[in-house]
Amino acid sequence: MDSVLRPEPIIRALQGAFCRDASPQELLVLAAGRIHGTGAPYGNVRVYLLRDEPIALAASAGDARDTGTVADLTVPIRRHDEILGGIDVRSDGSAPFGTGDEEALREIADALAVLV
């Protein structure tokens, strides 16, 4: 099964927001919201960043209670060899992620790495 997530419109929205001087926090919230807005299987989306402290939740969209998670897919936000954070998607569906989901999330993570 392919991914229901299409990264191109999300990346264009992030680039547009960046050009309008959106803050890094606003970009992360936009990304989480757009990914979650795709619908199933993206029930809970969290974006984490490494800061002075250990990894910290920077943005989220979806059910904060996080009950019934069946599958979890995480991709790094990476700039060259430096890990900046990650996008974590959780689903409560029985067959939640398609073969293209990891690649689609990776494209969004790569765009975030440049923009934040």
3 contacts 99 by C-beta, under 8 angstroms:
yes
How much of the chain exceeds pLDDT 70, in percent? 92
How much of the chain exceeds pLDDT 90, in percent? 59
Q: What pLDDT digit, counting tens, does each position of 51-69 carry?
A: 766 888 899 898 766 667 7
Q: What pLDDT digit, counting tens, does each position of 14-52 carry?
A: 999 999 999 999 999 999 999 999 888 888 899 999 876
**Domains of the chain by residue range:** 7-115
Q: What pLDDT digit, counting tens, does each position of 58-110 carry?
A: 998 987 666 677 888 999 999 999 999 999 998 877 667 888 999 999 999 99
Task: Please report the pLDDT score of residue 36 as a whole number.
Answer: 92
Mean pLDDT (the chain, rounded):
89
**The domain 7-115 is classified under which CATH number: 3.30.420.40, 3.30.450.40, 3.30.460.10, 3.40.1440.10?**
3.30.450.40
60 contacts 116 by C-beta, under 8 angstroms:
no
96 contacts 70 by C-beta, under 8 angstroms:
yes
Other C-beta atoms closer than 10 Å to the C-beta of 65 total: 7
